[in-house]
Amino acid sequence: MSQTNLIKLVSVGDAQGVGKGHTYYTRKNKKKLAEKKFSFKKFNPIARAHTLYKEKK
């Protein structure tokens, strides 16, 4: 993957904080979405549930 388009998504964990810190990497179109921070609900294998992932540097 190209390093210029690569962003890191970090889990905030579930209600008890299980799975906090798990990461996914994905791409982002920086020309169209330069100011917006991504946040997705993705599957967290540590918590074994869908949790919120937020974009970090």
Q: What's residue 3's pLDDT? A: 57
Distance between CA 53 and CA 21 in Å, rounded? 9
Domain harbouring 40, CATH code: 2.20.28.120
How do residues 3-47 score in pLDDT, each as one tens digit? 567 889 999 987 787 888 899 998 887 777 777 788 889 999 999
CA–CA distance, 39 with 29 (Å, rounded to integer):
15
Range of the domain at 17: 6-56
Question: What's the rounded mean pLDDT across residues 41-55?
Answer: 92
* Residue 1: inside a domain: no
Q: What is the distance between the alpha carbons of residues 29 and 27, in angstroms, rounded to a whole number?
A: 7
CA separation for the pair 57, 47 (Å, rounded): 23
Count of domains in the chain? 1
Say how far apart CA 6 and CA 30 lie, in whole Å.
Answer: 10
